[in-house]
Amino acid sequence: MMDIEQYLRDNKPEMPEEGQFLVETNARLRNVEGVKKCVNEDLRRGRMALIITLAVGLALGCLISLWVVFYPMPSIEVGQSAIARIMAGLKEWKDFLIALVAGCAIALGVVFMTRKNEAF
């Protein structure tokens, strides 16, 4: 088996000028740093968006819960109409529905917070 050093000496491959090689390498490194900076900036923006989403979800959930507690739905007489039946059903289940919406908003915020590595 031929030695690599001997092979290179025998074939004399073309080598770029040292100055040109360094210029090209530095240009490539600058491009890589630029891409890395853009990726880091996008990740930072995504994290901030997730934090803001979580905060807004928590705030809205708390406000809706307080609204339901302090301003309950007025009672209505249940008549024969479908709208009256729907309103009566919503009256009975309003606390559960609002809690469900608030829970979903909080869960969505938590899920987005745990998925930091994925694109937003």
| pLDDT tens for each residue of 62-103 | 888 888 888 776 665 545 677 777 777 778 888 888 888 888
- The residue ranking higher by pLDDT, 83 or 118, is 83
Cβ(83)–Cβ(32) under 8 Å? no
| 77 contact partners, CB below 8 Å, separation of at least 6 | 84
Q: Structure pTM?
A: 0.42
What pLDDT sits at residue 13?
A: 61
What pLDDT sits at residue 2?
A: 58
| pLDDT tens for each residue of 22-45 | 777 778 888 888 888 989 999 899
SS3 content of the chain, % helix, strand, coil (to 5): 80, 0, 20
Is pLDDT at 1 greater than 60 in this prediction? no
Cβ(109)–Cβ(53) under 8 Å? yes
